[in-house]
Amino acid sequence: MDITTLLLYVIAVSAVTAIPGPTMLLALNNGATKGIKVAACGIAGAALSDLILIGAVGCGLGTLLQASEQLFTLVKWAGAAYLLYLAYQLWQAPPSGIQSLSLPHETAARSGQAAFMRSLLVALSNPKGLLFFSAFLPQFIRPEAAIALQYTLLALVTALIDIALMSLYAIGGHHAMRALSAVALRWLNRGCACILAGLAIALSLYRRNELN
């Protein structure tokens, strides 16, 4: 893959990734209410999902999802249900951002593991990601070159872009937390919950042919 093609890919993925999605909202909320370390665990989960999804595309699973109405519907509704579950959790969450910075080590570790799994599952249970990569990535793949190496490179670049942008969201949320009252933190949680619920509804209405 030449440097021009790679640069175009970086620009295109950065533009798409900058649009706030579920994992970006989780990074923002984790940074504001649970601290940078927990947010970093969530970011790692989202980055791992990039590697898994692009690996799945390289193995042809994106084409399978596009071809199977039943599989697509199953994954779509599972993803929408999980987003609604997260929205409910955020809506009910107490405004404990400042206190969470002094959590015991074991509690903080459990919070980090939970954040990692939430971000990973949010990304993997959303069929839009797999379908997007299936439609988008082949435009940057040169068939005469090593296919697996190109997919690996694009997966790593995508993960790094995600890490950089989600870190900005998490750091912004962390610094904003210091200026927010408990009431404001509660409304931050509930605002993120409403957006996640809206994304769940949008996902439930999503159709496979919208990327065609």
What DSSP assignment string belongs to 56-84? HHHTTHHHHHHH-HHHHHHHHHHHHHHHH
Q: Is the pLDDT of residue 211 over 80?
A: no
> Which pLDDT belongs to residue 102?
47
Q: Per-residue confidence at 204, pLDDT binned at 50, 70, 90?
A: confident
pLDDT of residue 160: 95
- pLDDT digit string, tens, across residues 22-73: 888 888 888 888 888 899 999 999 999 999 999 888 887 766 666 677 777 7
Rg, the chain, Cα only: 18
Residue 100 CA to residue 94 CA, distance in Å, equals: 11
Q: Which residue has the higher pLDDT, 180 or 114?
A: 114
Q: What is the mean pLDDT of residues 183-202?
A: 74
Residue 83 has pLDDT above 50, yes or no: yes
Q: What percent of the chain has pLDDT over 90?
A: 16
pLDDT in tens, 139-148: 788 877 788 8
> In the predicted model, is pLDDT for residue 168 greater than 50?
yes
User: How far is the CA of 162 from the CAs of 21, 54, 66, 152, in angstroms?
Assistant: 11, 13, 24, 15
Look at 175 and 63; give whichever has higher pLDDT: 175
What was the pLDDT predicted at 180?
A: 60
Query: Which candidate, 125, 152, 165, places its Cα nearest to that of 57?
Result: 152
pTM above 0.75, yes or no: no
Residues sharing a CB contact under 8 Å with residue 21, sequence separation 6 or more, in sequence order: 199
Averaged pLDDT score across all residues of the chain? 78
Q: Is 101's pLDDT higher than 60? A: no
Please say whether the dihedral angle defined by the alpha carbons of residues 57, 125, 45 and 136, taken in this order, is positive or negative: positive
DSSP line for 177-198: HTT--HHHHHHHHHHHHHHHHH
